Amino acid sequence: MFFGVFRFHCLSLLLCGLLALPLAVRADVYDHVERLLRNGQLERAEQLSGQHLQNHPHDPQMRLLSSRLQDARGHTAQARETLQALTQEFPELPEPHNNLAVLLARQGQIQQAIDSLQRALQARPDYAQAQENLGDLYLNLARQAYLGASRTPNPSASASRKAEALAPLLPR
């Protein structure tokens, strides 16, 4: 009886280990692509990403990495399309909304970026990166408003000081 139970537990553990193996391999692929991306080895990262997406074309995590690769290679329009598709297919994921907002803000589409960040925060209210990005956008808008107020025919003395005070807080 003892050996039967022992053998059952061993087989169960072995089966669980075998089932988890593809997840570990996948995690390694994501980490590897991420590391290559950070190190500027974009061609190799794109190869690995492409190979993975051939077998798993709907994988949101790899598609998100792929959008970062596209942007890093200067294919911003393609990255934007990838992110828009991800936000439509997986509206519950905050990261595509956040990354799309970054691209939109960089292109000067501030209101669309704010909307995208708000969707990210609807998906996950505690998503710190989206909160910070939204704060940066609002700071930039406030600084622009203060600068505008300081350039009017009757400028406010405090508007210039406020614009100057905000400048060091904004990302470079």
Amino acid at 145: A
Q: What is the pLDDT of residue 11?
A: 40
Whether 170 is covered by a domain: the verdict is yes
Q: What is the pLDDT of residue 131?
A: 98
Say how many domains are in the chain. Answer: 2
Residues 95 and 67 reside in one and the same domain: no
Residue 137 maps to which CATH number?
Answer: 1.25.40
CA distance linking residue 82 with residue 89, whole number of Å: 11
Residues 169 and 112 reside in one and the same domain: yes
Residues 31 and 98 reside in one and the same domain: no
Whether 85 is covered by a domain: the verdict is no
Residues 56 and 110 reside in one and the same domain: no
The mean pLDDT of 57-76, rounded to a whole number, is 95
Element (H, E) at 46: helix 42-55
CA-CA-CA-CA torsion sign (68, 53, 117, 87): positive
The mean pLDDT of 81-108, rounded to a whole number, is 97
Whether 31 is covered by a domain: the verdict is yes
Q: Which one-letter DSSP state was computed for residue 92? A: T
pTM of the entire structure?
Answer: 0.79
Residues 97 and 42 reside in one and the same domain: no
Residues 131 and 172 reside in one and the same domain: yes
Residues 56 and 129 reside in one and the same domain: no
The yes-or-no verdict on residue 3 having pLDDT over 50 is no
Average pLDDT, the chain: 87
C-alpha closest to that of 68 among 55, 56, 82, 57: 82
Whether 13 is covered by a domain: the verdict is no
CA distance linking residue 110 with residue 113, whole number of Å: 5
Residues 116 and 59 reside in one and the same domain: no
Parent domain of 37: 25-75
The mean pLDDT of 143-147, rounded to a whole number, is 95
Residues 102 and 34 reside in one and the same domain: no
Confidence of residue 172 (pLDDT cuts 50, 70, 90): confident
